[in-house]
Amino acid sequence: MPNLSAGGSTHSAAYRSIYGPQQTRLLVTLDKEEKMCSRKQSSMISIFSILLIFCAAGYANDKDLAWKTGSLTDVHVDKGSRISGSATPANGSLAQLRYDTVYYQIETSDTIYVATQLLRRRKDTPLNVTVNGQVKFALKGTDFYLIDEGGKQNKLALEKKTLKTPLSGK
């Protein structure tokens, strides 16, 4: 009768004595693959859980916005550019890149908002909105959300917020 405790645990020794050394290696290899699969599965589950939490948080933030209606009174574009690249004494390359800023002025009954949109890429375009038309917008800190005529929500930067002063009867 073989010694079941020789060469490791009694379980592996029993398989070694009954099935032989090659099949024992196969059993151990399958054991390691199962552990690796369970590790991969648990890491994939944790990554999926984290992504789900971030998506839910982002979705909840969009629902938390208090949407207001205002009149778009002005749209102004400042054309700009920036220089990018490297220059060395032997060689180098510099490129002039687009850096346009679009200013959107929205007026409500008591406040005037100015929001900005940066256009950096060739494919970037100003929002599809009509001057003197009604727009829906929301504020969250310095983030300004504006819904264009296509119904798309766009994130802009709040540049300026001005309270209207009532006209005094002097």
* Residue-range domain boundaries for the chain: 10-63, 68-163
- Tell me the sheet residues that pair with 106: 72, 113
What pLDDT is recorded for position 131?
Answer: 95
Q: For residues 76 and 124, give the distance between their C-alpha atoms in angstroms, rounded to a whole number.
A: 16
Q: What's phi and psi for 15, nearest 5 deg? A: -65, -35
pTM to 2 decimals?
Answer: 0.59
Mean pLDDT score, 106-115: 95
- Sequence-ordered strand ranges (E) for the chain: 68-78, 81-87, 92-98, 100-107, 111-119, 134-140, 143-147, 153-163
Which has more pLDDT, 108 or 61?
108
Residue 36: pLDDT band with limits 50, 70, 90 = low
Q: Higher model confidence: residue 112 or residue 55? A: 112
User: Residue 18: its pLDDT value, please?
Assistant: 52
Handedness of CA 35, 36, 40, 43 (dihedral sign): positive
